């Protein structure tokens, strides 16, 4: 990652001439045709706004907007702004460094497609920092019962159970930062020797005791590039979560219960009543996984969990149900195996794909006739299962022993 | 000349501590690589020090040894590899001098195909009394409902014999044809063999595989009524001529089916409680007492003069025949991740490797063995925590030479290692350098010392062998708590099945006023009141308490549970 | 005549004794070399073991993706490394001793052995790397194929494993200069056979995969049918 000192001279000169900015908005991908005229709305309250966009070719000539300046900065990989595959967790370091350099009062990093940004949306990410002294503003994207399943099934309830915060999208990639938080994120973590900004931002903020809030955005969660396969995404997400568990073990082992992060705006749940979903393919993958990956799963899963899976393979499609307790134990046992390095970590995480798909199949069958309210209730049940099983994770984390039920 | 046994009490087996060993694996005195009776005799002092009171010898008769001696070719002799009849007699006398009883095998369900009876039968004309010593058929369709027991090696219970030009019946290996107990001459011969050994002074007989004695079409050929008639006859003949002897039934069946082998106190004196054993392992792994309490609840009462034989491991695989399919799957997953550890319908590992060499778990399971109702049966080597070798075929991995010291061949033999009947265990954890009698003998913290102490403690209290059991059911299912009661004695046993400390509150209001005295250190605990009695137990901890009612001016006296019934 | 007999005997005894006397120093030198090399191996092993432990060598090996090494061999990577080094020292000591024992004959053998030694090391290295690679890649293929719902996942994985093992074996034999042309041809046959089998398996197995992929693309084109979204 290029450090600020390694920026080209003209960029450094421009930063010097800008001097300071109240708000820095950083895009991590950009095309010349992207429209930023909405930025005028941000400067109307007298704020001094700087929009940073990744450059690599010619500098783009924008229409002048009062109170808004533009800065192109060198991206760590030139292809990033050319619709090439992105880091699904977003990248923040350059924008944060620029915001720190300009002593900004609030910084917003936008990793989604630039055409989805608008004045209202960006404002909702920076206003809680400016007006109410929050350190991290996380978007609450539009939810749907069959959308963002990895988030519903793993990320959100696990964050709640282990880190004690109820956040809808803990791995959101469009975020608002305070100066305190961005100063912390720019620093290198002495344990991992990488900048904290390349680690899981939400848990960094939670463990540092920062103030976190959520803001409802009327947009769907960003999709990963089409070329990414589920197995890679799942392995990347789980890898990040499990690595984080190791790093923050001292924190999550002592947190108790959970509390909501304050939320602004009305969250929106998309109705998905007229949905036809065929889960046969998912169940087949699970059964194929059971037949072929048992040796690998056996390194992670306890005998009792394995036995439950064996019974599940014999279920008919209509009766295919994976209980919440079983799913949560699977996630926790893989976290333990990841920590114990029972095998190559990438293999371990990828081998979890059929298990995840079995959960998706079971969840989908349960949710087919369920309304939006029922959907939230269902997620609440799952989150409680994660919380209730936390002592199980704790006991096995503290006392690694193969002799488990 | 008939020699008496060494026991004076007809119910001696209720107080016994039985030690199962194989002569050929114990000690080799003539350095041919195979243990023998002279070697065993030399090691009787060790067994006496250990505190065991009855030695169960695996088959030592002449045999082609294709099933480790259970394929007998001569019932009335000793295999030359193990010595002579005189050696056996000398051993028996030496054991009796030390007040130890001796139990031998009486394998009557089948013989080796090399036995003269079978060699005669296959050439004898059809229908003749020689032929009818075994079970023959012209087709292999008969008794089709009988299950195959050795599923790994046998595809059928019938095998074609080209000399006899007929199929012969065998419930085990094909080289072990079943005797035909519908032929009265068979029972006569069996009784001759039985009397021969009882006359020598042998104290007990283990009847191997007795559920399978009789076959009838349309049945599963197990536990048939006529089988019990045979057993009753054997028992009657024994009682008539030999006092204070014992018959132990090997009937791997559900408790209700095993109950029948006690008869009305006129069949076997003892029977193994097979279904209890895997459930002890299951309860430990699940950290839940339910498998144990459940099976004991299903165990019917037995006649006063009878006894269950309880064990953790033996020379066979840890059998999973008497469990449900789910329980079997769980046990395979929990205790035998490597398929090489499995044989037939069981797991061929010793106690220590099953417990992953965790001392606390080993002690906990042994504490259950010594405090559950029944006579405990120890398997040789488990008192020092011997390991196994899963790469040896069949069940030989748990039948390796006894590890006496760190010398060559574990001190078992001075022969060159290649001559040993089975290789010694050599890995860094269970190998003879690490695990041996000599090293543990002088170490008061060793497992061997612990076992000695526990056996000695158990022998002081007859309640363990003769009393009833009553389970307490505290809310914490990781705690197994029970009372052992007999003639005014009350012992409270509490075991933590979990690897983490556990709290428990026991409802002991019937013993209000009593003072629990922890039995190992004779430590007084606070008296029992009307409220639930709180205890905390560490990981895999177990506690035994004598419950004493102490009145002022009186030494603590044992008490009875108010309203309880006793044996 | 007896005089001549006794003379002949005297001469032969003298020859034999002289011969023994000539060989004796060499023999003693061999024993000394063995003893010294054994002591050196013990000392080096002791130091090396402490060094590797201080480096947390076992943990690092596990992190490099080889945690199975201990479960496969029953020994930790530190143990294996120490043993290899110790035995190498002992073997070198033995060769030194052999050279001292009989300078002319054995030095030829010894120099040939020393010349062969790098090939042996290379072959062992190739085998170790190949075995690890076979296991790693076969597992990668297995997991990947299962995740793509390829029914022949196990066969594919087995094929990849044997492909790499056969390749590794052929390379090792080549380094050892064993077999020559026969090994090359056998390798070509085996390798070709495995590749053909895999091609058939993939070809047959991938039909479903391609069909499903096309169906999925067609589904995406239809706007009124929603699908599950994982992210």
* Tens digits of residue pLDDT in B324-368: 899 999 999 999 988 888 887 889 999 999 999 999 999 999 999
Q: Angle C71-C75-C76 (CA atoms, 0-180°, nearest 5)?
A: 95
Q: Is the pLDDT of residue B276 over 60?
A: yes
What is the average pLDDT score of chain B? Answer: 92
Q: Is the pLDDT of residue B465 over 70?
A: yes
Q: In the structure encoding, which two tokens stand for residue B61, read together?
A: 């008769």
Interface check for B361 against chain A (CB to CB < 8 A): the answer is yes
Interface check for A311 against chain B (CB to CB < 8 A): the answer is yes
Each residue's pLDDT tens digit, B356-366? 999 999 999 99
Q: What was the pLDDT predicted at B555?
A: 43
Q: Is the pLDDT of residue B554 over 60?
A: no
Report the distance separating Cα A257 and Cα C165, nearest Å.
52
Nearest chain B residue to A295 by CA distance is: B337
Using 50, 70 and 90 to split pLDDT, how confident is the model at C70?
low
Q: How many domains is chain A built from?
A: 2
CATH class of B467-566: mainly beta
Residues A284 and A259 in one domain: no
CA dist A31 to A79, A81, A84, A87, Å? 11, 7, 12, 17
Using 50, 70 and 90 to split pLDDT, how confident is the model at B553?
very low
Strand partners, B548: B515, B558
Q: What was the pLDDT predicted at A237?
A: 93
Report the distance separating Cα C135 and Cα C72, nearest Å.
11
Phi, psi of B374 (to 5 degrees): 140, 180
Contact A306 B356 (CB under 8 A): no
Each residue's pLDDT tens digit, B34-65? 999 999 999 999 999 999 999 999 999 999 99
What is the average pLDDT score of chain A? Answer: 87
Contact B499 A401 (CB under 8 A): yes
Nearest chain C residue to A343 by CA distance is: C67
Strand partners, A77: none
Strand partners, A364: none
Nearest chain A residue to B355 by CA distance is: A403
Residues A233 and A306 in one domain: no
Q: What was the pLDDT predicted at B113?
A: 95
Interface check for A307 against chain B (CB to CB < 8 A): the answer is yes
Using 50, 70 and 90 to split pLDDT, how confident is the model at B546?
very high
Residues A216 and A334 in one domain: no
Contact A344 C143 (CB under 8 A): no
Using 50, 70 and 90 to split pLDDT, how confident is the model at B287?
very high
Instruction: Select the residue of B288, B329, B358 nearest A307 (Cβ to Cβ).
Output: B329
Residue B37's contacts (CB-CB under 8 Å, 6 or more residues apart) are B23, B60, B78, B82, B83, B84, B87, B88, B90, B91
Is residue A289 included in any domain, yes or no? yes
Question: Domain range spanning residue A352?
Answer: 280-398
Q: In the structure encoding, which two tokens stand for residue B171, read together?
A: 């419930």
Distance from CA of A148 to the nearest CA of C (A): 4
Show which of residues 127-186 on chain A sit within 8 Å of chain C, judged by CB atoms. 144, 146-151
Distance from CA of A180 to the nearest CA of B (A): 42
Report the distance separating Cα B181 and Cα B304, nearest Å.
29
Contact C230 A149 (CB under 8 A): yes
Using 50, 70 and 90 to split pLDDT, how confident is the model at B426?
very high
Is residue A405 included in any domain, yes or no? no
Using 50, 70 and 90 to split pLDDT, how confident is the model at A79?
very low
Strand partners, B503: B536
Strands (E), A143-231: 143-144, 165-166, 175-177, 212-216
Q: What was the pLDDT predicted at C73?
A: 53
Q: Is the pLDDT of residue C225 over 80?
A: no
Each residue's pLDDT tens digit, B370-392? 999 999 999 999 999 999 998 88
Distance from CA of C228 to the nearest CA of A (A): 5
Residues A178 and A228 in one domain: yes
Which tops the pLDDT comparison, A78 or A255? A255
Which tops the pLDDT comparison, C188 or A231? A231
Interface check for B290 against chain A (CB to CB < 8 A): the answer is no
Question: Which positions in chain C touch A234 (Cβ < 8 Å)?
Answer: 230
Which tops the pLDDT comparison, B270 or C18? B270
Q: Is the pLDDT of residue C229 over 50?
A: yes
Residues A366 and A250 in one domain: no
Contact A284 C149 (CB under 8 A): yes
The CATH number of the domain where A242 resides is what? 3.90.550
Q: Which of A129, A88, A71 is nearest to A228 (CA)?
A: A88
CA dist A204 to A136, A336, B59, B112, C169, Å? 10, 21, 69, 73, 49
Write out the DSSP string of A224-264.
Answer: PPTT--HHHHHHHHHHHHHHHHHHTHHHHTT--S-EEPPEE
Contact A229 C146 (CB under 8 A): no
Please state the rounded mean pLDDT for residues B213-238: 93
Share of chain B above pLDDT 70, in %: 97
Q: What was the pLDDT predicted at A197?
A: 82
Residues A131 and A17 in one domain: yes
Contact A277 C140 (CB under 8 A): no
Sign of the Cα torsion B546, B552, B555, B557 reads: negative
A-to-B residue pairs, Cβ atoms closer than 8 angstroms: 30
Using 50, 70 and 90 to split pLDDT, how confident is the model at A227?
low
Is residue A272 included in any domain, yes or no? no
Each residue's pLDDT tens digit, B104-125? 999 999 999 999 999 999 999 9
Report the distance separating Cα B270 and Cα B305, nearest Å.
9
Q: What was the pLDDT predicted at A37?
A: 80
Up-side HSE of residue B63: CA atoms within 13 Å toward CB? 21
Q: What CATH number matches the domain at B3-112+181-459, 3.20.20.80, 2.40.50.140, 3.40.50.2300, 3.40.50.720?
A: 3.20.20.80
Please state the rounded mean pLDDT for residues C69-75: 54
Ranked by mean pLDDT, the top range of A78-92, A299-313, C216-230 is A299-313
- Chain C: touching chains (3 or more CB pairs < 8 Å): A
Please state the rounded mean pLDDT for residues A181-201: 85
Interface check for A368 against chain C (CB to CB < 8 A): the answer is no
Using 50, 70 and 90 to split pLDDT, how confident is the model at B565?
very low
Report the distance separating Cα C69 and Cα C73, nearest Å.
6
Residues A208 and A295 in one domain: no
Active site residue ranges of B: 208, 250
**For the ranges B178-187, C99-108, C112-121, which has the lowest average pLDDT?**
C99-108
Q: Which of A252, A244, A233, A248 is nearest to A89 (CA)?
A: A233
Residues A200 and A68 in one domain: yes
Each residue's pLDDT tens digit, A121-145? 999 999 999 999 999 999 999 888 8
Contact B500 A303 (CB under 8 A): no
Each residue's pLDDT tens digit, A306-346? 999 999 999 999 999 999 999 999 999 999 999 998 899 99
Is residue A120 included in any domain, yes or no? yes
Q: What was the pLDDT predicted at C52?
A: 86
- Chain A: touching chains (3 or more CB pairs < 8 Å): B, C
Instruction: Select the residue of B288, B330, B358 nearest A403 (Cβ to Cβ).
Output: B358
Using 50, 70 and 90 to split pLDDT, how confident is the model at B402?
very high
Instruction: Select the residue of A233, A272, A275 nearest C230 (Cβ to Cβ).
Output: A233
Residues A292 and A237 in one domain: no
B110 secondary structure, DSSP code: B
Interface check for A84 against chain C (CB to CB < 8 A): the answer is no
Strand partners, B166: B161
Write out the DSSP string of B350-397.
Answer: -HHHHTTT-HHHHHHHHHHHHHSSSEEEEETTTTTT----TTSSTTGG
Interface check for A400 against chain B (CB to CB < 8 A): the answer is no
Domain ranges of chain B: 3-112+181-459, 467-566
Distance from CA of A288 to the nearest CA of B (A): 19
Question: Which positions in chain A touch B288 (Cβ < 8 Å)?
Answer: 405
Each residue's pLDDT tens digit, C11-44? 999 988 888 888 788 888 888 888 999 999 999 9
Q: What was the pLDDT predicted at B492?
A: 97
Each residue's pLDDT tens digit, A351-404? 999 999 999 999 999 998 888 788 899 999 999 999 999 999 999 999 888 888
Interface check for B337 against chain A (CB to CB < 8 A): the answer is yes
Q: Is the pLDDT of residue A240 over 60?
A: yes
Question: Which positions in chain C touch A350 (Cβ < 8 Å)?
Answer: 143-144, 147
Residue B60's contacts (CB-CB under 8 Å, 6 or more residues apart) are B23, B24, B37, B69, B78, B79, B82, B88, B104
């Amino acid at each position: 990652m290029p450090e600020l000192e390694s920026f080209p001279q003209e960029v450094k000169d421009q930063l010097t001439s800008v001097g300071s900015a109240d708000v820095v908005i950083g895009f991590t991908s950009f095309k010349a045709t992207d429209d930023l005229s909405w930025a005028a709305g941000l400067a109307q309250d007298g704020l001094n706004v700087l929009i940073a966009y990744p450059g690599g070719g010619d500098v783009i000539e924008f229409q002048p907007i009062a109170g808004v300046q533009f800065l192109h900065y060198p991206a760590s990989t030139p292809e990033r702004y050319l619709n090439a595959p992105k880091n699904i967790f977003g990248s923040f370091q350059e924008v944060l460094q620029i915001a720190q350099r300009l002593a900004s009062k609030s910084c917003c990093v936008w990793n989604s497609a630039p055409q989805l940004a608008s004045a209202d949306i960006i404002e909702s990410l920076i206003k809680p920092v400016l007006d109410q002294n929050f350190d991290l503003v996380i978007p609450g994207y539009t939810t749907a019962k069959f959308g963002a399943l990895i988030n519903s099934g793993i990320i959100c309830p696990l964050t709640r159970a282990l880190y004690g915060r109820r956040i809808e999208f803990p791995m959101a990639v469009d975020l608002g930062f305070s100066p305190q938080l961005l100063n912390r994120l720019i620093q290198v973590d002495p344990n991992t020797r990488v900048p904290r900004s390349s680690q899981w931002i939400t848990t960094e903020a939670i463990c540092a005791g920062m103030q976190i809030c959520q803001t409802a955005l009327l947009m769907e969660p960003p999709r990963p590039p089409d070329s990414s396969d589920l197995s890679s995404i799942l392995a990347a997400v789980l890898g990040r979560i499990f690595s984080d568990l190791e790093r923050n073990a001292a924190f999550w082992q002592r947190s108790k219960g959970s509390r909501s992060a304050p939320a602004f705006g009305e969250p929106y749940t998309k109705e998905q009543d007229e949905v036809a979903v065929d889960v046969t393919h998912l169940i087949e993958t699970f059964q194929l996984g059971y037949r072929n990956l048992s040796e690998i799963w056996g390194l992670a899963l306890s005998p009792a969990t394995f036995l439950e899976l064996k019974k599940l393979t014999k279920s008919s499609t209509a009766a295919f149900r994976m209980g919440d307790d079983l799913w949560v134990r699977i996630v926790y046992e893989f976290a333990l195996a990841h920590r114990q390095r029972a095998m190559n970590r990438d293999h371990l995480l990828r081998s979890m794909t059929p298990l995840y798909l079995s959960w998706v199949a079971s969840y989908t069958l349960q949710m087919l006739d369920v309304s939006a309210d029922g959907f939230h209730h269902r997620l609440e049940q799952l989150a409680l299962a994660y919380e209730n099983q936390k002592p199980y994770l704790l006991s096995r984390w503290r006392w690694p022993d193969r002799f488990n039920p | 000349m008939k020699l008496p046994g060494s026991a004076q009490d007809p119910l001696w087996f209720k107080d016994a501590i039985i030690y199962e060993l194989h002569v050929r694996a114990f000690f080799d005195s003539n350095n041919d690589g195979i243990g023998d009776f002279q070697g065993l005799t030399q090691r009787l002092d060790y067994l006496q020090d250990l505190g065991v009171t009855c030695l169960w010898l695996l088959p030592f008769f002449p045999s082609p040894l294709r099933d480790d001696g259970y394929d007998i070719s001569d019932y009335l002799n000793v295999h030359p590899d193990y010595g002579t009849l005189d050696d056996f007699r000398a051993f028996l006398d030496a054991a009796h001098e030390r007040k130890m009883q001796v139990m031998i095998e009486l394998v009557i369900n089948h013989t080796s195909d090399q036995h003269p009876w079978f060699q005669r039968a296959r050439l004898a004309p059809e229908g003749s009394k020689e032929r009818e010593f075994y079970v023959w058929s012209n087709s292999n369709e008969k008794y089709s409902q009988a299950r195959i027991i050795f599923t790994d090696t046998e595809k059928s219970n019938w095998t074609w014999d080209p000399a006899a030009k007929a199929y012969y019946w065998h419930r085990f290996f094909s080289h072990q044809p079943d005797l035909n107990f519908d032929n009265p001459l068979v029972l006569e011969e069996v009784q001759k063999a039985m009397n021969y050994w009882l006359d020598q002074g042998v104290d007990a007989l283990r009847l191997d595989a007795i559920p399978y004695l009789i076959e009838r079409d349309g049945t599963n050929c197990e536990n048939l009524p006529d089988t019990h008639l045979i057993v009753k006859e054997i028992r009657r003949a024994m009682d008539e001529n030999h006092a204070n002897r014992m018959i132990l039934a090997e009937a791997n069946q559900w408790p209700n089916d095993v109950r029948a082998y006690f008869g009305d106190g006129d069949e076997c004196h003892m029977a193994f409680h097979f279904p209890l054993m895997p459930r002890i392992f299951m309860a430990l792994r699940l950290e839940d007492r339910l498998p144990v309490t459940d099976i004991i609840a299903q165990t019917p009462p037995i006649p006063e003069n009878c006894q269950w034989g309880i064990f953790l491991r033996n020379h066979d695989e840890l059998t999973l025949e008497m469990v449900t399919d789910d329980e079997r799957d769980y046990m395979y997953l929990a205790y035998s991740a490597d398929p090489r550890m499995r044989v037939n319908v069981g797991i061929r590992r010793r106690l220590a490797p099953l417990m992953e060499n965790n001392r606390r778990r080993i002690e906990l399971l042994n504490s259950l063995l010594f405090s559950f109702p029944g006579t405990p049966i120890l398997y040789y080597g488990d008192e020092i925590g011997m390991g196994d070798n899963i790469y040896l075929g069949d069940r030989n991995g748990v039948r390796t030479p006894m590890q006496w010291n760190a010398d060559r061949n574990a001190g078992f033999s001075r022969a060159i290692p290649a001559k040993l009947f089975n290789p010694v265990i050599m890995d860094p954890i269970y190998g003879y350098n690490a695990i041996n009698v000599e090293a543990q003998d002088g170490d008061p913290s060793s497992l061997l010392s612990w076992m000695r102490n526990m056996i000695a403690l158990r022998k002081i209290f007859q309640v363990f062998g003769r009393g009833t059991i009553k389970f307490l059911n505290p809310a914490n299912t990781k705690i197994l708590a029970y009372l052992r009661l007999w003639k005014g004695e009350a012992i409270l046993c509490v075991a933590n099945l979990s690897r983490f400390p556990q709290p428990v509150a026991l409802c002991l209001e019937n013993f209000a006023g009593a003072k629990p005295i922890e039995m190992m250190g004779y430590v007084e605990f606070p008296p029992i009141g009307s409220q639930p009695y709180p205890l905390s137990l560490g990981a895999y901890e177990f506690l035994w308490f004598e419950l004493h009612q102490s009145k002022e001016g009186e030494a603590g006296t044992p008490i009875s549970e108010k309203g309880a019934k006793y044996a | 005549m007896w005089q001549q007999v006794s003379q002949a005997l005297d001469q032969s005894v003298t020859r034999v004794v002289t011969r023994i006397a000539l060989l004796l120093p060499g023999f003693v030198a061999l024993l000394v070399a063995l003893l010294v090399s054994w002591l050196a191996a013990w000392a080096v092993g002791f130091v090396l073991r402490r060094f590797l432990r201080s480096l947390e060598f076992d943990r690092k090996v596990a992190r490099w993706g080889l945690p199975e090494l201990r479960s496969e061999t029953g020994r930790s990577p530190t143990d294996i490394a120490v043993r290899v080094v110790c035995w190498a020292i002992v073997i070198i000591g033995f060769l030194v001793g052999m050279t001292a024992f009989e300078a002319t004959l054995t030095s030829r053998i010894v120099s040939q052995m020393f010349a062969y030694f790098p090939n042996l090391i290379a072959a062992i290295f190739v085998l170790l790397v190949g075995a690890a690679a076979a296991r790693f890649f076969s597992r990668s293929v297995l997991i990947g194929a299962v995740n793509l719902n390829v029914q022949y996942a196990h066969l594919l994985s087995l094929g990849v494993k044997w492909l790499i093992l056969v390749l590794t074996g052929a390379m090792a034999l080549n380094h050892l200069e064993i077999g020559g042309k026969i090994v090359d041809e056998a390798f070509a046959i085996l390798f070709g056979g495995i590749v053909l089998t895999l091609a058939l398996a993939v070809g047959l197995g991938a039909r479903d995969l391609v069909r499903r992929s096309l169906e999925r693309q067609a589904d995406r084109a239809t706007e009124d049918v929603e699908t599950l979204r994982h992210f």
